Amino acid sequence: MAKIISGKEVSLAVKQEVADEVAQLKNEGIEPSLAVILVGNDPASKVYVNNKKKACDFCGIRSLEFLLGEETTQEELMELVERLNNDETVNGILCQLPLPKHLDEQAVLNAIKPQKDVDAFHPENVGHIMIGDYAMLPCTPSGIMEMFRYEGIELDGKNCVVIGRSNIVGKPMAMLMLKENATVTICHSHTENLKKIVSEADVVVAAVGIPKFVTADMIKDGAVVIDVGINRMEDGKLCGDVDYEACEKKASYITPVPGGVGPMTIATLMKNTVTAAKIQNKRGK
Ligand code: NDP
């Protein structure tokens, strides 16, 4: 039976560290703050924004919410980003994705000042991740790396397979594992022999968006299985990209959904907000 890596437990440890650092910064007269922009009425996005606010409250980070209507124009959104870019009391800016279809997501992400880009989606920050020298951490992949550290899982020399190549999860995940000297393969919808590739992995990270995509026959005995997927089923329950019940019997470590990678993403966001506050107040990384 696999050891369950609890995102709740690990994220609590990370948030506690952040809270301690925030308390110290406040003693120096610095109050880290995060501005979150939500456009439209997507119920899942509202839940995420609410969870981010709760994490800010826990860490002592000042949180500002900008809830904009579905009909918001590109111009209005860009104006808000510009205002927040220029507001010295705001350290981090996050625009909750996805945006309504009529809005240009990439243009908004590009407009956020790299120093305030706590999601690390700006091309400048993405470039830093690529060369392995970065202050803003890619939230979900960094949260996963934190889980490896917490559990003492070594990646050096290991065969790691990432399923999914999105800009927010798959690609930066591969970069972070590569930095730790893993041998990394990225699979996607055009990958041939995916089952064979996954079956040879010491570590599998599934970020596909298909419920129970990774089945027990695909993983090798003792593999570390990380499930990034968040899929809402018809009965309203959440399901990951991994067949948890079956893979749990074969893996050495596994993350549950919910309560796995999700809370880690938010914990890293808190870390990034403090980093942003420190950079803007010339306190180093
Ligand atoms: P995307 O939809 O952007 O990417 C999915 C990736 O999976 C693509 O690269 C796609 O390949 C690949 N894929 C799709 N079908 C197959 C297939 N049959 N075989 C192999 N690869 C396939 O998703 P995200 O990366 O944004 O998110 C992935 C999942 O993680 C979602 O469930 C999302 O909700 C969740 N998520 C969870 C987070 C958390 O904090 N826990 C944070 C972010 C996301 P191709 O590129 O060829 O199309």
Ligand 1 pocket residue status of 229, Cβ below 6 Å: yes
pLDDT tens by residue, 67-103: 999 999 999 999 999 999 999 999 999 999 999 999 9
Q: How far is 102 from 122, CA to CA, in rounded Å?
A: 20
Instruction: Using most ligand atoms within 8 A of CB, pick from 161, 198, 230, 241 the residue to mutate for ligand 1.
Output: 230
Span 263-280, average pLDDT? 98
In sign, the C-alpha dihedral spanning 161, 163, 165, 171 is negative
Answer whether residue 173 shows pLDDT above 80.
yes
166 Cβ closer than 6 Å to some ligand 1 atom: yes
238 DSSP β-pair partners: 232
For residue 159, the SS3 value is strand
Asked whether the predicted pLDDT for residue 285 surpasses 90, the reply is no
**Which pLDDT belongs to residue 40?**
97
The verdict on whether 202 is a catalytic residue reads no
Q: Looking at per-residue confidence, does 285 or 42 come out higher?
A: 42
Looking from the CA of 77 toward its CB, the CA atoms found within 13 Å total 30
Q: Which amino acid is at 48?
A: Y
Structure tokens at 154: 């070594």
Which pLDDT belongs to residue 283? Answer: 81
Q: Report CA torsion sign: 262, 266, 267, 272.
A: positive
C-alpha of residue 167 to centroid of ligand 1, in Å: 10
Is 46 one of the catalytic residues?
no
Would you say 263 and 233 are in contact if contact means Cβ atoms under 8 Å apart? no
Specify the DSSP class assigned to residue 30. Answer: -
pLDDT average, residue stretch 132-146: 97
Catalytic residue list contains 195: no
Which atom of ligand 1 approaches the CA of 163 most closely? 21
CA angle 32-36-39, nearest 5°? Answer: 170
**Which of the following is catalytic: 15, 96, 171, 243?**
96
Rounded to two decimals, the pTM is 0.97
Strand (E) or helix (H) holding 31: none
Residue of 270, 274, 277, 6 lying closest to 142 (CA atoms): 270
Region of 230 (left: φ > 0; alpha: ψ -120 to 50; beta: rest) is: beta
| pLDDT tens for each residue of 30-66 | 999 999 999 999 999 999 999 999 999 999 999 999 9
Distance in Å, CA 273 to ligand 1 centroid: 25
Q: Quote the strand ranges of the chain, DSSP E.
A: 3-4, 33-39, 62-68, 92-95, 159-163, 183-187, 203-206, 224-227, 231-232, 238-239, 253-254
- Ligand 1 atom nearest residue 241's Cα: 32
CA 101 to chain centroid = 23
